[in-house]
Amino acid sequence: MEEERLQRIGERFGASSVEKADTVLQLRLRLALSLGDDAFIAKWLRDGGREALHKPCLKDTWILTTAAAHGCSPIVERLLEARASPDPPEDAIGNFPLLASCSSGSVGCIEALLEHHADPQRSRSSDG
């Protein structure tokens, strides 16, 4: 199922293999998040992205953490409404959505995460 989805995405973007399709999708998702492209994220969710909400889909980073780091509150809200966990495991550098939101200074992201029951007492595991 995931391989077929990546193949379709890759064909749309001109990628010649599933691996290249995944790379293209990763880059496109990162670009959408950095630009705050809510329309692309909505389409990605409709086209099967919901399945990727339950695992890191940007290499070793959760899409919700990346959206929060960019301060994209409409995208954070959309991902949470699509059932992304407000408290996924830390990424490779110890980030998680609420920490990333605080670092970006996005009150909208912080409020959305807290409304969806992100743990306000959580800290990085490396912080002890």
Q: What is the CATH number of the domain that holds 93?
A: 1.25.40.20
Q: Which one-letter DSSP state was computed for residue 90?
A: P
- How confident is the model at residue 14, as a pLDDT? 60
Residue 43 lies in domain: 2-127
Nearest Cα to Cα of residue 10 among 1, 19, 53, 2? 19
Residues 6+ apart with CB under 8 A from 93: none
Whether the Cβ atoms of residue 87 and residue 96 lie closer than 8 Å to each other:
yes
What averages of pLDDT result for each successive group of 10 residues across the chain (128 residues)? 58 63 83 94 92 81 94 97 94 92 96 97 80
- How confident is the model at residue 25, as a pLDDT? 82
Whether the Cβ atoms of residue 34 and residue 27 lie closer than 8 Å to each other:
no
Domain tally, the chain: 1
CA gap 10, 20 in Å, rounded: 7
CA gap 16, 39 in Å, rounded: 25
Task: Return contacts of 25-30, CB within 8 angstroms, 24+ apart.
Answer: 26/57, 26/58, 26/59, 29/57, 29/58, 29/63, 29/66, 30/58, 30/66
